Amino acid sequence: MGCGGSKKPKEETKKVEEKHEENKHDITNGGEGEKPTNQPETKTTEEGQAGGHAGTLIFEGNRLLKKAKKGEIDFFQYLYSPDQTDQDIIELRKFAPSFYGIEERNNERYISMENLLTGYDYPNIMDCKLGRITWTPHHTEETKAHQEAKNKTTTTGSLGFRISGIVTKDSHGKKLEAWAKKEGFFGINEGNIHEQFAKIVTHDGKINYEAIDIFIRGTIEILYWFKRQKTKHFVASSVFYVSGKNNKHQVRYIDFAHAIEANGEIDNNVIEGLENCVKIWEKLKNPMPQPVASGDQAGGHEGSLIFRGNKLLKKAHPAEIGFYSALFDPQLENTELIEFRKFVPYYYGVEIINNKNYIVLENVLFGYEHPNVLDCKIGKVTWTKDHNEVKTRKQQEKARTTTTGSLGFRISGLITKDEYGNKIESWSKDGGYFNITPENIHEQLAKIVHRGETFQLDRVELLIKQTQEILNWFTRQRSKLFFTASVLYVNGTDKAQARFIDFAHVFDAEGHEDINTREGLENLIKCWQEVIRKYCAPQERVKPQKFPYEVTLEEGKTYHYCDCGRSKTQPFCDGSHIDTSFAPIEVVVNETKLYHLCGCKSTKNKPYCDGSHTKLDW
């Protein structure tokens, strides 16, 4: 869907020490990293540096070489060792840069790792150094005294972290601001630090709230890892934020020169800093908690929801409160359920209002302009062992007379708006679903992706992809059975998402597959695919030519080779089909001359044609 999942370019490195191929992990691609291929040129730059590494970094395409001391080299080799069995340490790999080995340059040792800025257009970046304690038992008393003095005069002493570097750029790549270490952090305090955070998510004068969402969730994911692991303590490590002009954003964990044994204790030093980073991002996203009109409710929760900016308070059954609190318990060890967190609204706790318990959740509509909303109740069986006979019969009759019985899901609420925010249609529960059949249900789905005179194919493809990710989890997991849960679809003027919600009826699976939910999700995806067939005109595809592209590439200039085959400026990427699963291949050459770039998009030596797919029809 979309452009497909094109992988990052490969690259060969001079091997000095074992690279641990099978253990490389690339979070950017959402899976195992790959051995990098040849890059045309070594490109050294300090353009993207933050955090005070000037002069110690060499950028080479999708790789970064960092001059490193023994402590950090040892840790990377420990982290990516093929003999590593500590599951907490193995899980850390998804937050850390991918590791490609050790190289020697001019008698200096460099760690070869993933360049976290690859694929980001003119990125804004920020390095936050974590922990009030920034020295180890191995440091001298003089160093300790120096660090203590620095911490008293920065936010390290008050917030448990400090910003150690920022780089911001405009939409043309011109630097707006760039500083590292004491050039800037002595002027930052608790009162103005949110202004610094705002800088890296501000593009063309506007705050990108989607970036803030990603930064909040990414930081929380790292935070939960720290609340579980008791293997290592990290001193002077950083959380690293990247926000590109092409709407790509990520959070990673870096700098491991001072990783020491935890001796079975939680790393509270780092935890405090991460918690305060999350609070600042949340404050930036929702500076003044304000009630929001409840008119965007779908699925029949009228009267039970309170909207407060980026938070939603929902009058909840004790069972749902129990499920959320267990799911987001920092001590949770069930890896299936830990993975499930990414599909559900973030949980903040419980609040009592007028003697009623309200669960405090992420408001998944926050940051969406004029959202269309669709709630799909999943499962043919919507009654449980806890329901009495009357309730069970009622649910069985509802299933028989709606698409629940035939498709394994029904639409339980729908809201659509025009380009000015005026409601076009709004109903929930009995207000609409009895008139929906398997033959016309695709018409209802299509309503939320209808904007102006067109149906948004890219949004449908995105919603299918996200629903498929939820389905993939259900095909694997054997921990829980879900009844009357929902997939909630939100489509705003500039973005869309699918989330899994409503957990009042969740039971232990005892090793069984949740076939009831799986079948409903499978049919839901099929109905979305019918929307594409009936309503969405196929996107114009540019058929790649049947022979290599002969192009002259200039020395030192950066090119982006299209790997999806859909760009209208073949063989180069025009940005029209970039999504979170796709990254063009960056090309920098060391000689101005004629090159042959792959036309079929299938060569193993992308972007270059190597003749491996030469045949009669190419």
pLDDT tier, 164 (very low <50, low <70, confident <90, very high otherwise): very high
At residue 139, the pLDDT reads 77
Residue by residue, what is the 3-state secondary structure of 376-412? Answer: EEECCCCCCCCCCHHHHHHHHHHHHHCHHHHHCEEEE
Mean pLDDT over all residues of the chain?
Answer: 83
For the segment 317-331, the average pLDDT, to the nearest whole number, is 92
User: Which has more pLDDT, 32 or 383?
Assistant: 383
Residue 314: pLDDT above 90?
A: yes
- DSSP per residue over 517-532, as a string? HHHHHHHHHHHHHHHH
DSSP reduced 3-state for 468: helix
- pLDDT band per the 50, 70, 90 thresholds, residue 184: low
- The model's pLDDT over 558-572, given as tens digits with 9 standing for 90+, comes to 888 887 777 777 888
The strand pair at 108-114 and 161-169 is best described as unpaired
pLDDT at 313 over 80: yes
Which tokens hold the place of 212? 């803030």
- Residues 397-456 have pLDDT tens digits of 999 999 999 999 999 999 999 888 889 999 876 556 778 999 999 999 999 999 887 899
pTM for the structure as a whole:
0.54
- CB contact burial 202-228 (16+ within 10 A = b; e otherwise): bbeeeebbbbbbbbbbbbbbbbbbbbb
Q: Give the tens place of pLDDT for each residue, 273-296.
A: 999 999 999 888 865 444 344 445
Q: Tokens 């999350």 label which residue?
A: 278
| Residue 276: predicted pLDDT | 94
CA distances from 579 to 120, 462, 568 (A): 12, 9, 16
- Structure confidence at residue 606 (pLDDT): 80
Q: Is the pLDDT of residue 618 over 60?
A: no
For position 429, what pLDDT does the model report? 66
For residue 241, what pLDDT is reported?
A: 98
Mean pLDDT of 64-87: 94
pLDDT grade for 298, boundaries at 50, 70 and 90: low
The least confident of 97-106, 178-187, 216-225 is: 178-187
How do beta strands 454-455 and 480-482 pair? unpaired
pLDDT at 560: 82
Work out the average pLDDT over 50-59: 66
Mean of the pLDDT values across residues 35-50?
42
Count of all residues that appear for the chain in the document: 618
Q: What is the pLDDT of residue 20?
A: 39
- Whole-number pLDDT of residue 14: 38
